[in-house]
Structure formats: C-alpha cells, structure tokens
C-alpha cells in the first residue's frame, strides 16, 4: 500500500514539474510578445556575427548536453529501485574504450568550438576596423560621472548622452574616461561592449546597417549614477547625418574648458546636450592628465589616429 | 585628542537610517534573546567548554553549519530586497531604495553568499566528514582549525558591523573593482569593512586549507593510499590545494588596496604609475579558482551520493578523480575570461577562451562517470538523490552558458548582463548550494543519530527547483533583452518589468523552500524516535564514515581501521566486520586561544576601519602574545585509556539497544506538512488554553 503511494507521488511530482515548466514557458512567451529581445534583433554586422556565434555555440553544446541529460534521467528512471525488471549488477565494469570515449566526446566538441572560436575572436576583435565602402567615422567617447560625452574630431562637434552615426559606415569609438571609475560602453543592437578607462584608449569598431534609435548604457557598475548613465544611439542615412551635423553646428553651446569642467562635476540621468564646436586638444589633454609625473610613460595617443 | 582616541569614529557613525536601525535592533535583540535562553537553561559553561573552545572537527563543523545557516537567511533577505527594488523601480517609480543603498545590498549579498554561506557550509562538511572518511581521529593541527573557524566568525561579524557603526557597506559590487573602490570614489568606511571582513576570514581559510592538506596527506588510516580515498576527500583535497594557492593572492591584493586607501599609495589608481587593470587581474586570479574551491567538494558529495544510492561503486573511479584534478588544474588558468571586455588583444582573449572550454572536459567526464554509475544500479530516490537530479539539470544549463561566455565575441554581448548573473547563479545555486543541501541531508544521520524527514525534504526540494526556474529563466531572458546587472532603475519602455516581477515571485518560492527546510529539521527532531538510526549506517554506505556510531564519539574510531580497498566499509561489510578491540587514544585538549586570537584580529580590523591606531597596535600585540603562548603550551593533549573507551562504547551500545532501531522504517511514515502544522497548532492551543507559560 505505502509502496504504491510512493510511486504514485513520484510520478505525480514529475508531472507537476512538467506542467509548471510548460506554464512558465507559456507565460514567458506571452510576456515577450511586443518586447524587443535585443540580442536576437541585431542592427549591424558586428551584432549579427556575434549572434551567429552565440547560436552556433549553443546549438553545438546542446547536441551533447541534451542526449546526456536524457540518458542520465532515463537511467535514473529505468534503474529505480521499484523497477524489478531492470538488471542490477553492482560488479558492472567499464571497458577501456568506454573510458576513452568519456574523455573523447567532450574533447572533440570543445576542439570544434575552439577551432570556430579562435578565428572568430580575431575577426570580431573590437579594435579591428571594419572594411566597407564608406569612409570610416571616428567618435571619441568619454565616460564621465555619470554621462557619456561624444566628441566628433572631424566634424568638431560634441554631444552628451546622444550619439548619431550614418548607416553602413564603419564607426570607430575611441573609449576613455575622465575622473570616473571603469565604465563599459555598450550598444547591444550594434555589438558587444568594451571598457572605458581613465588614461587609456580602447577602440571599439561598430557599424549600423539599419536606421533607428538604439539604447546604449554602461554595463559596468561605476557608482551612484550607474543606472541613469544611458544614451541613445541614432543611426540614419549619410545625408541625414550630414544635416544633423549642420544643425548641431548652429547650436549656441560650445564645449570649451569651462564647459568641460562643468561636465566633470558628478551628475545623474543627464538629458542629451549638443555642442556646436569643441576644443580639438581636449581629448588628448584628458589622457595626458593621467600620465602623471612619470616621464618614462610616453603619451600613447595622437589625435586623429 | 579625540582623534587619537577614537579615530574617525563619531556620533554620526551610529545608525540613523531605517535599514541600519532595523539591522542593529535585530542584531541586539537576537544577542539578548540568545543570552537569556542560555542563562535560563544554565548552559553557559557547557557552551564554552563543550562547543566554543572545542577543537573537535565534528563540533567545529556543526558550528560552521549554524553560522552559515544564519548567513544564508541574511543573504537571502538581501536577495529579496534586490528583487523587490527591481520589480518596483520602473519608469516613474524609483522603488524603495536609493541607488547607493541598493548597491550596498547587492554587494553584501554577494560577499555573504560566497564567503560566509558557501565557504562556511563547505568547510563545515569538510571538517565533519573528511577525518571520518580517511579514518583519522582528529586533524593535523586542531588549533589551526579552531583559529580558522573563529577568524571566519570574525569575518561574519565584520561584514555585519556596519549596521551598528558606520551605516554603510561597500557599494562597489562583490569584488570591489578599482578604481571605484579607491578613496576617490568610495571615501566612506564601507569598502574598509569589506576589506577587513574578507581579510580576516580569508586568512582563516588559508589556515584551514593548510590544515586539511596536511590532514589528508599525512593522517590517512594505514592502507589507504591516495588512490583509495573516497571521492569527497579527493574533492576536498583538490579544493584545499587551490585555496592554498590563491587565497594568499587575495590577502596580498587586499593589502595593496589597503595601502592605496590608507597610505595614499598608487597600486590601483590611474596615474602616478598605478593601474586599476592590475586589480582586476589580481582579484580574478583569486576569484575564479574560488568558485571551483566551492564546486569541487560539491562534486565529491554528488559522487558519494550517486554511488551510495545506486548501490554501486563509482564507475571508473580513476576517471572521476582525474576529472577533479583536471578541473583544479585548469581553474588556475582561466581568470581572464572575466574581463574579455577590458580590451586585451584577440590572442590573449582567445587563449583564455580555449582554456575555459577545456575546463568543461573534465567536468563533463565527471558527469559521465555518474551516468555510468547509475547504469545497472538500484537507485533509491531519497532527498540527497533528488538534490543530485535537480543539480544535474541546472548545473548543465550553468555549464553550457559558461562555455558560451568563454567565446570572447559572445561574451562582449553577454558580459555584465543579467545573462551572466543567471549563469553563475545556476552554478553556485544549482551546483554548490544543492551540493551542500545534498551533503547535509546525506550525512545528517551521521551528525545527529537520526535521519531527516524525507517527505518535507521533498517539498523543500521542489520549492527550490520551481523557485529557481521562476527566478533564473526570466533572468537569462532579461540578459538577452539587454538588461545589465545591478540596475536600481530602468525605463518602463524596455518591457522588463514583468520579468523582474517573475523573478521576485520565484524568490518567494525559494524562501518557502528555505522555510520548509527549517520545518524539516524541527519535524525531524519531533519525530526523532521514528527516524532514529542506531546502526551508524542508515543508507548502506560505502566509505569509512559509516563504520562508526552516529554521532561518532570524540575519537571517531575505537581502533584506527586497516584499509585495503576503495569503498572500504562496503568491502568490510561483505567480508565481515573486524572484531571490536580497544586501545589508548590521544586526543587534543580544548583551547580558547583560537577565540582570543581571532577576537584580537577582529578588533585590529575594526581599528583599521576607523583608523584607531592604538587599538590596532594593542590588538596586534595581543595576537602575537596568543601565538607565543600557544607555542609554549606543551600540555595540549590528553589520553583516554582503553578501559575508558570500552566503558564508553558499552554505555553507548546499551543506550542504542533501548532506542530500538527501526530497521524496516518506511520513509512514507515520515510526518507530512499537514501533520506538522496540526501538531504545532494543537501544541500552541494547548499552551494557550492551559496557560502553560505561567510555569516557565
């Protein structure tokens, strides 16, 4: 009697579990409708390639993980104590080929993954410039407490918490920070993130292929204003971009030393701001600031690189 | 003058915000309550002599469990606070916590769960089980062990001290990355509490690790070669070797950070020759192996459980052990995968990516040995086995996403997102915590002399699994939606809120699981008679810990067993147990020096936090005196004669005989939840009706 009850309750909990998972899956699908699952919705070459790599890796690993799990749970069920039909053999031995295959299977899978990953890591190295017909655009990005400053050295304009780029044009973001902790510059629609650090330039190459407005933020915690340190990245046609630059050039505000000092003050959730002109030496100056009195450290950065 | 006497300490340090006041009041009330209870029971002397000053690894193990259990509740509360804030704080609403306070909560959550819950439980298990498994009577250095434990307690108190004095904890994330944790960006005492809490408990861990390596290498029973050691002992050995390798690194890094903050040095600042990237490297060179330090003993626990409950020896023991050794070897060379996004070159990133993938190989191999063990086994679905089956699915997801994160370009998109957070929670909850729960329910009969209530244990297990899925599947999805971790606020247009709410609900289900685990222990104590196990071997076990009584006597074994095979106890049972004999036993004496020593270490840390120089000097001198006093103490052992042992053993046998072992006790007779509630309610009603409290 009790034994019977036990078995029933065992399979009952499994059914509950499956039903629950189904319910959870359904409700998640429902919640997902109408939202933007950003990583599955790439808007540029880099994000696309990164997504492909994610999907490939997951698929490859699932081909070994799913059968393993099925076998494991299958054995657990088949060899349960109450199943008198299953053979019990405590002396069961495993041949050397079995042991060999235990090592060989994961090794082969990991070697396949590694051999795909190695070239991909080089191809998608953030500092590698993207080959395209259009002339590349350089944007200097500065993480401040707690806002993003964008300087367009060629256009000689600057923006805060807003960046506009032309579509199908490779963009090189030159990331640094000033008087701010390590931050991480991330526009998930366009591609992966990279750290912005004081006294150091990290180059992140991205390209936007579809026009639109994409959210960007810092992914690395950097203090009280962390959650509000967001910006909008707008991608539009080359003509539209040129118009926009012309518009900004008419803006009354100018990014000079005094204005920059103001930006250095900590502030949270700043709205977008636009500057019609900027001091071209500003970026190099903020890098030099951290070179300190140590003469043996040469300046690593030349403007307009 | 005041500065000389009190350093930075002032009236302002007293609690004046709701959470610090609440924390302090809870802290003080709990202390007063415990003190009253102990005084009423007249147990102070007993507590001091039998427990606090004990050098018995079994008692220290139990004390680890108790402290870690409390910390699990404390860290769990933090988790609920985090999820509640995130569920509320969308769009116009900014939740109920300030950004700064929110950041302190998740920092504390991370530190407490890793250092004081996971490490505490793992050290508790190692303390209790390893000496029994290797057939030893105590540890290589019992004094080092008690000191390590009390330093851990010092760390626990230090991490909670900010409630009472200072009012702020580090708001930097659990690893306090530079330069955010530097004086410039974190001027308060929060980071200092972080430094000294980790420093004190970290030194304790190093001591414990040295001790266990010595114990396992030098104190095994005769005949037990390394290749005959049980899997849990192997996992512990690998883990402790890694701890000895990397914990000094943590200690050194924390000292450098301390020099930066206190003496104005420039190790981790930008400029003046410093480099924060150095900190990131150093902390992860410790931080990554740390996860495996927790994981390896858990893998060992699961190997023991699968083997015992499949009634088979572990399939391909050598492979299983080589797997654990392989994991620990690779674990030391993967740290850079935590910051692919810092801008190292493609070659560096790809190299560490490959190393990380390779670590999946030995892990997968260990999985395969479990499958092969179950093949043609006779599997009993006890709660330890259920925890194992839950672990397998969750840990596979965690491992799979881990390998995914080892692909640098994929990591660029997933790093610092909630996907990453979900990944490591799959591993530390599904792997480490489930391993701990499995281990505790497996060895509980050994600790207590009766097994745990299976039925309520099953309910607790299902709550954990369901709660985990509800919390962490949405978390993975949020990561894919581009949600970064540690957000105290987000736009409502993102559509993230329902997922955060789902996470909170899952968290509440997990809380129900924890509550059920507490109920399980209480119900088991109430049903003690029914659950009693006098054989010392309730599961038909295989390794030496089951050969002795439950709970084992202070000296573990009457006679040190002679080992000739793997699964030594199983083989002994097949061939007939050796005859009972008795011999003189030398045991270490209890000592309170460990308590004094770590009290001084704690006070020194406190003095450093508040920059009270004289206090630091005095307590460092105190530590020195304690150490010297110990070295001059030559009377640190006592002897139990063979006759006394025989008397003790006979008394125990008589006691056990009276208890009547329920050999055929059916697990379905275990009290259910409804029975438990009924008993509690009738008990409470009885007390109220008959005004029983008057007699107290």
**Which tens digits make up the pLDDT trace of B635-670?**
888 898 888 888 888 888 887 776 654 555 566 677
- Binary contact (A54, B379; C-beta < 8 A): no
Q: Which of A227, A233, A300 to mutate to test the interface with B (most CBs of B within 10 A)?
A: A227
Section A192-215 average pLDDT: 95
Q: What is the mean pLDDT of residues B356-375?
A: 95
Return the SS3 of A24.
Answer: helix
- Contact (Cβ atoms closer than 8 angstroms) between residue A212 and residue B358: no
Q: Which of B343, B366, B389, B460 to probe by mutation at the A interface, max A CB count within 10 Å?
A: B343
Mean pLDDT throughout A162-166?
Answer: 96
Q: Which two tokens stand for residue A292?
A: 């300190």
Q: Which of A27-41, A132-146, B424-438 has the lowest mean pLDDT?
A: A27-41
- CA-nearest residue to B418 within chain A is A219
Question: Which residue in A89, A103, A117 is closest to B376 by CB distance?
Answer: A89
Cross-chain CB nearest to A81 (options B370, B379, B498): B379
Min Cα distance A252 → chain B (Å) is 30
| Pairing verdict, β A162-166 and A183-187 | unpaired
End-to-end CA distance of chain A, in Å?
82
Lowest pLDDT segment from A100-104, B202-206, B380-384, B661-665: B661-665
Interface touch A68/B396, C-beta < 8 Å: yes
CB neighbourhood size of A271 (10 A): 8
Q: Could you say which of A36, A184, A228 has the minimum Cβ distance to residue B481?
A: A36
Q: What is the pLDDT of residue A32?
A: 84
The DSSP line for B210-260 is HHHHHHHHH-PPTT--GGGS-HHHHHHHHHHHHHHHHHHHHHHHHHHHHHH
- Across chain A, what does the average pLDDT equal? 89
**Beta partners for A273?**
A160
Enumerate the residues of chain A whose CB falls inside 8 A of the CB of residue B103: 221, 224, 226
At A299 the pLDDT is 45
Q: Which residue in B has a C-alpha nearest to residue A184's C-alpha?
A: B341
For residue B532, what are the β-bridge partners?
B450
Would you tell me the crossing angle of helices B99-111 and B57-88 to the nearest 10 degrees? 150
Minimal CA separation from B343 to chain A, in Å:
6
Contact B277 A62 (CB under 8 A): no
Chain A contacts of B462, Cβ < 8 Å? 13, 16-17
Asked whether B329 and B364 are in contact (CB, 8 A), the reply is: no
- Cα separation, B66 vs B131, whole angstroms: 20
CB contacts, 8 Å: B470 with chain A:
24
Mutate to test the interface with B, among A61, A178, A219 (most CBs of B within 10 A): A219
Is residue A297 over pLDDT 50? no
Residues of B in contact with A286 (CB under 8 A): none
Q: Is B103–A13 a contact, with Cβ atoms under 8 angstroms apart?
A: no
Distance separating alpha carbons of residues A161 and A272, to the nearest angstrom:
5
* Chain-chain contact of A61 with B404 (C-beta, under 8 angstroms): yes
Please report which confidence band the pLDDT of residue A298 belongs to, taking 50, 70 and 90 as the band edges: very low
Two structure tokens written together for B370: 């479990």
Distance CA A46, CA A233 (A): 15
Q: Say what the pLDDT of residue B654 is.
A: 80
- The pairing of strands A191-196 and A183-187 is antiparallel
Please name every residue paired with B587 in a beta bridge, in sequence order, or none if there are none: B638
Query: What is the distance in angstroms between the Cα of A45 and the nearest Cα belonging to chain B?
Result: 13
Residues of B in contact with A36 (CB under 8 A): 481-482, 494-495
Tens digits of per-residue pLDDT, B471-516? 999 999 999 999 999 999 999 989 999 999 999 999 999 999 999 9
pLDDT digits (tens, 9 = 90+) for B43-82: 999 999 999 999 999 999 999 999 999 999 999 999 999 9
pLDDT at A67 over 60: yes
For residue B38, is pLDDT > 60? Answer: yes
Cα dist from A105 to A65, B318, B321, B334, B368, whole Å: 11, 18, 18, 22, 10
Q: Are the Cβ atoms of B502 and A27 closer than 8 angstroms?
A: yes
From B361's Cα to the closest Cα of chain A, the distance in A is 5
In this complex, which of A2, A94, A182 lies closest to B315 when CB atoms are compared? A94
Percent above pLDDT 90 for chain B: 77
Of A16, A121, A215, the CB nearest to B346: A121
Q: Which two tokens stand for residue A289?
A: 């600031």
Query: Residue A103 and residue B361: Cβ atoms within 8 Å?
Result: yes
A262 vs B275: CA distance, rounded Å: 26
* Partners of residue B179 in chain A, C-beta under 8 Å: 181-182, 198
Look at strands A137-144 and A171-177 and give their pairing: parallel
CA distance A249 to chain B (A): 31
**Burial of B468: CB neighbours in 10 Å, binned 0-12, 13-18, 19+:** buried
Chain A partners of B473 at a C-beta cutoff of 8 Å?
Answer: 24, 28
B82, B267, B283, B407: best to mutate for the A interface, most A CBs within 10 A: B407
Tell if the CB–CB gap between A194 and B412 is shorter than 8 Å: yes
B201/B158 Cα distance (integer angstroms) = 9
Determine the pLDDT at residue B312: 92
Size of interface A-B (CB pairs under 8 A): 303
Residue A195: closest C-alpha in chain B: B342
Do A221 and B360 count as a contact with CB atoms less than 8 A apart? no
Q: Which of B12-26, B297-311, B554-568 has the lowest mean pLDDT?
A: B12-26
Does A198 contact B473 at a Cβ distance shorter than 8 Å? no
pLDDT at B394 over 80: yes
Nearest CA in chain B to A84: B378
Alpha-carbon gap, residue B171 to B167, rounded angstroms: 12
> B329 near B270, Cβ under 8 Å?
no
> What's the gap in Å between the CA of B696 and the closest CA on chain A?
42
- Under the banding of pLDDT at 50, 70 and 90, the label for residue B696 is low
How far B562 CA sits from the closest chain A CA (Å)? 23
Residues of B with Cβ-Cβ distance to A86 under 8 angstroms: 376, 378
DSSP-derived secondary structure letter, B418: H
Name the minimum distance, in Å, from the CA of A86 to any CA of chain B: 7
Alpha carbon distance A143, A176 (integer Å): 6
How far is B554 from B551, CA to CA, in rounded Å? 9
Residue B691: pLDDT band (50, 70, 90) is confident
Over the stretch B530-585, which tens digit does the pLDDT of each residue have? 888 888 899 999 999 999 988 999 999 988 889 999 999 998 888 887 777 888 99
Q: Supply the pLDDT for residue A95.
A: 82
- Predicted confidence band at A15 (pLDDT cuts at 50, 70, 90)? confident
| Mean predicted lDDT score pLDDT of chain B | 92
**Strand bridging mode A277-278 / A254-255:** parallel
B637, containing H or E segment: strand B637-640
Beta bridge partners of B448: none
8 Å CB contact of A127 and B343: yes
Percentage above 70 pLDDT, chain B: 98
CA B119, B120, B121, B126 torsion: positive or negative?
positive
Q: Which residue of B has its CA nearest to A90?
A: B312
* Mutation for testing the A interface, residue in B91, B265, B346, B670 having most A CBs under 10 Å: B346
Could you tell me whether strands A273-275 and B585-588 are parallel, antiparallel, or unpaired per DSSP bridges? unpaired
Mean pLDDT of B671-696: 81
Question: Mean pLDDT throughout B125-152?
Answer: 95
Residue/partner pairs of B90-95 with CB below 8 Å, 24 or more apart: B90/B489, B90/B490, B90/B491, B90/B492, B90/B494, B90/B496, B90/B497, B90/B500, B91/B491, B91/B492, B91/B493, B92/B492, B94/B488, B94/B489, B95/B488, B95/B489
The number of CA neighbours under 13 Å toward the Cβ of B250 is 28
pLDDT of residue A10: 60
Nearest-CA distance from A247 to chain B in Å? Answer: 28
Q: Which residue of A lies nearest to B477 if distances are taken between CA atoms?
A: A37
Q: Quick one: pLDDT at residue A9?
A: 57
Kindly determine whether residue A293 and residue B407, on different chains, have CB atoms separated by under 8 Å.
no
Please give the model's pTM, rounded to 2 decimal places: 0.94
Chain A contacts of B496, Cβ < 8 Å? 35
Nearest CA in chain A to B363: A106
Helix (H, G, I), strand (E, B) or coil at A164: strand
Q: Kindly give the interhelix angle for B346-374 and A96-123, rounded to the nearest 10 degrees.
A: 160
Cβ contacts of residue B50 below 8 Å, gap of 6+? B59
**pLDDT value at position B126?**
97
Residue B92 per-residue DSSP state: T
Q: Do A75 and B411 touch (CB under 8 A)?
A: no
Residue A146 β-bridge partners: none
pLDDT in the model for residue B693: 65
- CA-nearest of B418, B423, B426 to B482 is B418
**CB–CB of A75 and B371 under 8 A?**
yes
Please calculate the CA angle B81-B83-B86 and round it to the nearest 5 degrees. Answer: 110
Nearest chain B Cα to A122, which residue? B346
Out of B103, B276, B400, whose CB is closest to A61? B400
Looking at the complex, report in whole angstroms how far the Cα of residue B240 sits from the nearest Cα belonging to chain A: 25
Interface predicted TM-score of the whole assembly (ipTM), two decimals: 0.92
Element (DSSP H or E) covering residue A194 = strand A191-196
Question: What is the pLDDT, as a whole number, of residue B430?
Answer: 95
Alpha-carbon span B385 to B371, nearest angstrom:
13
């Amino acid at each position: 009697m009790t034994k019977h009850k036990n078995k029933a309750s065992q399979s009952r909990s499994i059914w509950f579990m499956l039903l629950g998972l189904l319910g959870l899956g359904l409700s998640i699908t429902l919640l997902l409708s109408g939202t933007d699952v950003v990583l599955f919705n790439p808007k540029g070459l880099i994000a696309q390639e990164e997504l492909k790599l994610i999907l490939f890796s997951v698929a490859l690993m699932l081909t070994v993980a799913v059968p393993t799990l099925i076998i494991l749970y299958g054995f657990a069920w088949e060899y349960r104590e109450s199943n008198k039909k299953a053979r019990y053999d405590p002396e069961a031995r495993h041949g050397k080929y079995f042991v060999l295959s235990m090592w060989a299977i994961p090794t082969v899978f990991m070697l396949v993954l590694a051999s795909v990953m190695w070239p991909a890591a080089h191809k998608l190295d953030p500092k590698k410039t993207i080959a395209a017909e259009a002339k590349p655009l350089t944007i200097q990005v500065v993480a401040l407490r707690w806002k993003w400053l964008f300087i367009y050295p060629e256009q000689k304009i600057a923006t805060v918490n807003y960046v506009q780029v032309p579509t199908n044009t490779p963009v090189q973001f030159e990331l640094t920070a000033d008087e701010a902790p390590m931050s991480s510059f991330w526009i998930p629609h366009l591609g992966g993130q990279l750290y912005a650090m004081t006294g150091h330039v990290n180059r992140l190459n991205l390209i936007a292929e579809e026009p639109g407005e994409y959210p960007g933020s810092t992914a690395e915690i950097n203090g009280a204003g962390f959650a509000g340190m967001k910006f909008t990245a707008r991608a539009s046609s080359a003509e539209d971009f040129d118009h926009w630059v012309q518009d900004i050039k008419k803006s009354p505000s100018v990014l000079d030393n005094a204005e920059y000092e103001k930006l250095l003050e900590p502030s949270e959730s700043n709205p977008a701001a636009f500057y019609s002109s900027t001091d071209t030496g500003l970026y190099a100056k903020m890098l030099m600031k951290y070179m300190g009195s140590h003469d043996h450290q040469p300046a690593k950065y030349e403007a307009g690189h | 003058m005041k500065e000389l006497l009190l350093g930075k300490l002032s009236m302002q340090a007293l609690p004046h915000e709701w959470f610090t006041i609440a924390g302090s009041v809870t802290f003080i009330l709990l202390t007063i309550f415990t003190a009253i209870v102990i005084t009423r029971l007249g147990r102070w002397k007993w507590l001091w002599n039998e427990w606090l000053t004990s050098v018995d690894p079994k008692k220290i193990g139990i004390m680890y469990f108790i402290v870690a259990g409390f910390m699990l509740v404390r860290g769990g509360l933090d988790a609920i606070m985090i999820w509640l804030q995130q569920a509320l704080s969308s769009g116009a609403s900014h939740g109920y916590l300030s950004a700064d306070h929110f950041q302190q909560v998740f920092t504390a959550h991370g530190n407490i769960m890793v250092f004081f819950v996971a490490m505490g439980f793992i050290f508790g298990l190692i303390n209790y089980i390893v000496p029994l498994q290797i057939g030893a009577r105590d540890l290589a250095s019992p004094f080092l062990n008690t000191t390590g434990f009390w330093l851990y307690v010092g760390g626990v108190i230090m991490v909670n001290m900010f409630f009472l004095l200072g009012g702020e904890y580090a708001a930097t994330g659990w690893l306090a990355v530079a330069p955010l944790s530097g004086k410039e960006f974190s001027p308060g005492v929060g980071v200092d509490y972080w430094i000294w809490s980790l420093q004190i408990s970290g030194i304790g861990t190093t001591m414990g690790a040295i001790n266990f390596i010595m114990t396992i290498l030098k104190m095994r029973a005769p005949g037990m070669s390394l290749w005959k050691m049980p899997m849990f002992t192997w996992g512990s050995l690998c883990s402790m070797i890694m701890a000895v390798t990397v914990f000094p690194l943590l200690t050194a890094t924390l000292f450098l950070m301390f020099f930066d903050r206190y003496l104005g040095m420039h190790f981790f600042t930008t400029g003046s020759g410093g480099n924060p990237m150095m900190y990131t490297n150093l902390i992860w060179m410790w931080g990554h192996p740390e996860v495996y330090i927790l994981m390896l003993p858990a893998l060992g626990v699961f190997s023991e459980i699968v083997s015992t409950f499949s009634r088979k020896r572990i399939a391909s023991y050598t492979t299983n052990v080589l797997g654990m050794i392989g994991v620990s070897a690779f674990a030391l060379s993967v740290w850079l995968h935590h910051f692919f996004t810092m801008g190292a070159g493609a070659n560096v990133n790809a190299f560490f990516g490959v190393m990380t993938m390779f670590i999946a190989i030995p892990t997968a191999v260990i999985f395969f040995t479990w499958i092969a063990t179950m093949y043609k086994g006779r599997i009993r679905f006890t709660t330890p086995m259920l925890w194992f089956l839950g672990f397998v699915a969750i840990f596979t997801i965690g491992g799979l996403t881990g390998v995914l994160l080892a692909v640098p370009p994929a990591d660029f998109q997933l790093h610092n997102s909630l996907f990453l957070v979900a990944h490591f929670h799959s591993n530390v909850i599904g792997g480490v915590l489930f391993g701990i729960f499995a281990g505790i329910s497996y060895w509980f009969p050994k600790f207590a002399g009766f097994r745990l209530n299976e039925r309520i244990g099953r309910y607790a297990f299902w709550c954990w699994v369901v709660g985990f899925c509800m919390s962490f599947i949405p978390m993975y999805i949020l990561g894919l939606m581009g949600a970064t971790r540690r957000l105290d606020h987000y736009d409502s247009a993102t559509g993230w809120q329902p997922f955060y709410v789902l996470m909170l609900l899952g968290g509440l289900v997990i809380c129900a699981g924890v509550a059920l685990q507490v109920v399980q222990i209480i119900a088991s104590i109430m049903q003690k008679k029914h659950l009693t196990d006098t054989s010392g071997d309730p599961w038909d076990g295989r390794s030496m810990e089951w050969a002795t009584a439950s709970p084992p006597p202070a000296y573990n074994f009457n006679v040190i067993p002679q080992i000739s095979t793997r699964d030594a106890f199983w083989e002994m049972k097949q061939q007939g147990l050796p005859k009972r004999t008795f011999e003189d036993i030398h045991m270490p004496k209890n000592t309170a020096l460990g308590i004094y020593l770590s009290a001084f270490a704690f006070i020194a840390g406190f003095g450093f936090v508040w920059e009270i120089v004289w206090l630091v000097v005095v307590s460092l001198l105190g530590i020195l005196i304690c150490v010297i006093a110990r070295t001059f103490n030559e009377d640190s052992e006592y002897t139990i004669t063979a006759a006394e042992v025989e008397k003790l053993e006979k008394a125990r046998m008589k006691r056990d005989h009276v208890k009547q072992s329920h050999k055929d006790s059916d697990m379905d007779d275990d009290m259910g939840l409804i029975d438990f509630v009924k008993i509690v309610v009738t008990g409470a009603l009885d007390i109220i009706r008959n005004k029983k409290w008057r007699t107290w």
